[in-house]
Structure 1
Amino acid sequence: MKTIEKVNYKGFIWPLVVGVIMWCMTPIRPDGLSAIAWQMFTVFVATIIGCITKPLPISGTTLLGLVVTVLLGLAPVESTKSASGVVTNSGILSAFSNSASWLIAMAFIMAAGITKTGLGNRIAYNMIKLFGKRSIGIAYAITGLELIMGGLIPSNSARSGGVVWPIVESISETYDSKPDEKSRKKIGAFLDFMAFHANIISTALFVTGAAPNIVAQAMAAKAHYQMTWIGWFTTAIVPVVICAVVIPWLIYKMFPPEIKETPNAKAWSEGKLAEMGKMSVPEKIMTAVFVMAILMWVLAGFFDIQQFEAAYVAFLAVVILLITGVLKVDDLLKEKGAWNILIWLSILVFMASKLTDYGFIVWFAKTVQSGLHGISWGVVLAVLVLVMFYSHYFFASGTAHVTALYLPFLTVSVAAGAPLALSAMMLALTTTIMASTTHYANGPASILASTGYVSQSEWWKYNFILGLVYLVIFGVTVPLWGKVIGLW
């Protein structure tokens, strides 16, 4: 017998209550703000709250927000044009022409090729083989693995849950370290916690490292700052390298494993590589296609050539994988994550663009600018970074957090006189490290904190300390290194 799918109807309460209250406040809205701008802001806020309370999965919630936008007359279905052909009001269908959304969707499909061919596992086993003689060596190997995977797999949850965690679990069980009080601290707890922070570090290195990065990129574009692949990488490389050296050592000292030497790790990884055999033809093609994509993304930062545009490069890579038989069309259709993110990211970016079109962002910038008169932009930016970071205790989604706060915070920083590029990158990189807060901070946290190896109190305590370390490293190096590379 067919049954009706479960819907979290309680999750509709807060979005509905907040939305109705804010809508009723339209007659007493702030001075200088049009009615349509306030109403669009109301729908946007209600949608973001819905992304947090999750009455429906995020794609369903944002689709509902899009339908309400048209229902309330805040946007047409199709774009309207003047007699001269100029778009006067973008319709909701234009949301799905967003290049950032298509880039991340195609990157997800590329990642399917990494997984399907076994290339990701081969890279992982080779890293453990090279650095697995000691537990601290495995920690650095996991960090190196994540840094490589960060460029290959755009989903931090997919990297953590699909590649790194199975390896951590296998190594832990090799040393009879299981998720119980008797044996978890032998090595499993250390590697589990290390895997989480390796994921944070890798997410910070690439604009395609996780979905919230792409959201920040899209939101920055609304403020007229273009984050290129190479631009993000160049800005992040110094703080990321410092973290890659310091964080594993710090975790090793703070939360040490009982087993310090791991001679079996090399034999274990060699056995796994022996099972895989020589590099297959699909793996070789996948490697070549990925290298091609990286080179084209890098060159896009130097040459203004349409064929080097990031989304097009991702499309090209996927087509090559299809033509060569590495992937088949069914593989594309099965990538739910790709199509899911295409829906919700496109809609959220569209809503943010309507806020700009209706003058909300300009009003917000002017209001903040007048309120911050006489305060140093450096102080303002520092406060915004801290608020962005610690407010993540109230969010279970990095995407929802970035969508809600990134553009307003960037607007405030620039209004206070801070350089646009520095503000955009400083806030964007802060969103990558704010996961070092809770066990529900993001997908990898949910995966690795629920394994039983690390207690919730340990997770919160050690993450609080490491959060301070991240803030110091990024807060000091990004402005200094940014000055060297001409970011500001």
Structure 2
Amino acid sequence: MIAKIIAILAVTLILFFLPAPEGVDSRGMHMAGIFAGTILGLILQPLPTASVALIGLAAAMMTGTMAAKDEALTGFGNPTIWLIVAAFFIADGFLITGLGRRIALMFVSKLGRSSLGLAYGMALTDLVLAPATPSNTARAGGVVYPIIKSLAVVNNSEPTTTESRKRLGSYLLLTAIQVNTITSAMFITAMAGNPLAVGFAEQQGVHITWGTWALGALVPGVVALLAMPWVMMKIYPPTLRQTPDAPDHARVQLKESGPMSRAEIIMLVTFLLLLALWILGSTIGVNATSAAFLGIAILLASKVLTWNDMAKNSGAWSTLIFFSVLVAMAEHLDTLGVITWIGNSVSSLVGDLPWPLAFAVLLLVYFYVHYLFASNTAQIVAMYAVFLAAAVAAGTPAMFAALMFGFAGNLIGGLTHYASGPAGVIFGSGYVPTNEWFKKSFIASVVNIIIWGSVGTLWLMLIGLWN
């Protein structure tokens, strides 16, 4: 414990007292030090996640690095974070009513002979929903997560002990977040930040249509989706591998459950309404978070959920705290000029390299700098245009660079438990500890880089999306 605290303080203080580079606000390195120390605290876990985040926030406010009124607490008003919290309560509805168990039993009856089969079933579900669901948080948190949670519970896998969570839940949930990053990368409309990337590319003379993006991502995306559940099975295997009797057992339980109850029907109708609003939200002007809260309101008004049910969901409230703090810190880093300075510094370092090597360096830095971000969209806003301009200036074909940075802006979403909205939902479930998340997700990121970097490059060359 003492060694962990010393390491956290050392990193924080070293960065805190570094002089601010040109173009960076005088508070910039202070914020960088506190943010880095908070992230290290989340990794080493001397205290629970929410406690570490609040200590970091207190340090930022007490040192004057973040003003309490209009800087430190802004993350608590972020709609994406509240969408994550809402997803927890929607998942509660699935479990309390028994609808989640019913859906889980249906999946088990069709695909339940192995945990790998279940993972591919969830991947297919995510892929089908992705083109029409601009909120990857809504897709992962409101649709996929409740089903996986129910599957885990049905198979006696809960986050209460290491043995129990590793039985099935840990594998399915960490695989789900990696799959979600892939499906998000395959369509402009699968993640809220993708249209922003397209807009930034347009400003630099690169015109990307919905079809162009989807065609460019098709082959590497399918290869990655086929590979990821298998890779995760190798590096993060569940103890429950084969369940040959599960399909028959599930069919028996479904029969014994009888017809759907009133609460299940209300939950199903609410879920279908939410799904429709999430899919059509950008067309009819309904925000994904607003839709989620409408769903919660319906569940409360019909007494399918109660306030006590919501109050007892410690995972939701813990996630609200730590995610809000990190988002506020990450946004403040950008405001103070730290993120721009990092991007410009990297760009200047590759100016004399051959363009393939320069592009590889830029892409890797763009990918792994996401350890400093708590949102895909935040990084796209802060760095996409800077890195695209640097790559094109180095001689990289513009369309190729724009698409690859666009894909990468999604694949980074599983690097950490705070990397994206879906990551926050999955981590809040309690099935995947921080140290396991960082280790296994780094390996998954390497697999994605290899697939999208090799297969993706060859595919873009083959179909002419190169210049």
TM-score, length basis structure 2? 0.68
Q: CA-atom RMSD, angstroms?
A: 5.1
CA drift of 1:327 comes to: 0.6
CA–CA distance in structure 1, aligned partners of residues 147 and 272 of structure 2: 22
Amino acid at match of 2:44: T
Which residue in the other structure is 1:277 paired with?
A: 258
2:74 to 94, 97, 115: 94
CA spacing shift, 1:50–1:377, aligned 2, 3 Å: farther
Determine if contact 2:274/2:295 at 8 Å carries over to the other structure: yes
Mapping for residues 166-205 of structure 1, pairs under 5 Å: 166-167=153-154, 195=172, 198-204=175-181
CA–CA distance in structure 2, aligned partners of residues 126 and 167 of structure 1: 11
CA spacing shift, 1:383–1:71, aligned 2, 3 Å: same
CA spacing shift, 1:380–1:411, aligned 2, 3 Å: farther
CA drift of 1:48 comes to: 1.5
Q: After superposition, what is the alpha-carbon deviation per residue over 1:81-137, rounded to whole angstroms, capped at 9, x for unaligned?
A: xxxxxxxxx3323331111111111111111111112222212211222245x65xx
1:413 to 384, 387, 395: 387
CA drift of 1:33 comes to: 3.2
Determine if contact 2:299/2:305 at 8 Å carries over to the other structure: yes
Q: Does structure 1 residue 163 correspond to structure 2 residue 150?
A: yes
Determine if contact 1:380/1:413 at 8 Å carries over to the other structure: no
CA drift of 1:281 comes to: 1.9
Amino acid at match of 1:91: E
Structure 2 residue matching 1:300: 3-state secondary structure: helix
CA–CA distance in structure 1, aligned partners of residues 97 and 217 of structure 2: 30
Structure with bigger gyration radius: 1
1:42 to 17, 33, 40: 33
Q: After superposition, what is the alpha-carbon deviation per residue over 1:206-231, rounded to whole angstroms, capped at 9, x for unaligned?
A: 76xxxxxx9x9789989998xxxx99
Q: Does structure 1 residue 423 correspond to structure 2 residue 405?
A: yes
CA spacing shift, 1:377–1:410, aligned 2, 3 Å: farther
For structure 1, list consecutive stretches of 5 or more residues without a partner in the other structure: 1-7, 79-89, 171-178, 180-187, 208-213, 393-398, 436-441, 450-455
Which residue in the other structure is 1:126 paired with?
A: 106
Q: Does structure 1 residue 334 correspond to structure 2 residue 312?
A: yes
Q: After superposition, what is the alpha-carbon deviation per residue over 1:307-352, rounded to whole angstroms, capped at 9, x for unaligned?
A: x112111111111111111111111111111111111111111112
CA drift of 1:245 comes to: 4.3
Amino acid at match of 1:71: M
TM-score, length basis structure 1? 0.65
Which residue in the other structure is 1:4 paired with?
A: none
Structure 2 residue matching 1:354: 3-state secondary structure: helix
Amino acid at match of 1:432: G
2:303 to 320, 325, 349: 325
Which residue in the other structure is 1:312 paired with?
A: 290
CA–CA distance in structure 1, aligned partners of residues 172 and 89 of structure 2: 24
Which residue in the other structure is 2:273 paired with?
A: 292
User: Which structure has the highest helix share of the two?
Assistant: 2
CA–CA distance in structure 2, aligned partners of residues 416 and 355 of structure 1: 21
Determine if contact 2:110/2:247 at 8 Å carries over to the other structure: yes
Q: Does structure 1 residue 369 correspond to structure 2 residue 350?
A: no
CA–CA distance in structure 1, aligned partners of residues 332 and 85 of structure 2: 23
CA spacing shift, 1:384–1:113, aligned 2, 3 Å: farther
Determine if contact 1:75/1:92 at 8 Å carries over to the other structure: yes
CA spacing shift, 1:380–1:317, aligned 2, 3 Å: farther
CA spacing shift, 1:260–1:49, aligned 2, 3 Å: closer
Mapping for residues 248-263 of structure 1, pairs under 5 Å: none
2:12 to 12, 19, 22: 19
Structure 1 residue matching 2:57: 3-state secondary structure: helix
Structure 1 residue matching 2:24: 3-state secondary structure: coil
Mapping for residues 439-458 of structure 1, pairs under 5 Å: none
CA spacing shift, 1:47–1:169, aligned 2, 3 Å: closer
CA spacing shift, 1:223–1:121, aligned 2, 3 Å: same
Determine if contact 2:16/2:31 at 8 Å carries over to the other structure: no
Amino acid at match of 1:30: P
Q: After superposition, what is the alpha-carbon deviation per residue over 1:118-161, rounded to whole angstroms, capped at 9, x for unaligned?
A: 222212211222245x65xx633442146548966629997698
Which residue in the other structure is 2:160 paired with?
A: none
More moved, 193-202 vs 34-43: 193-202
More moved, 35-44 vs 318-327: 35-44
Q: Does structure 1 residue 140 correspond to structure 2 residue 120?
A: no
CA drift of 1:270 comes to: 1.0
Amino acid at match of 1:43: I
Determine if contact 2:42/2:52 at 8 Å carries over to the other structure: yes
Determine if contact 1:376/1:416 at 8 Å carries over to the other structure: no
Q: Does structure 1 residue 58 correspond to structure 2 residue 49?
A: yes
Determine if contact 1:118/1:283 at 8 Å carries over to the other structure: yes
Q: Does structure 1 residue 432 correspond to structure 2 residue 411?
A: no
Determine if contact 1:384/1:409 at 8 Å carries over to the other structure: no
Q: Does structure 1 residue 113 correspond to structure 2 residue 87?
A: no
Which residue in the other structure is 2:141 paired with?
A: 154
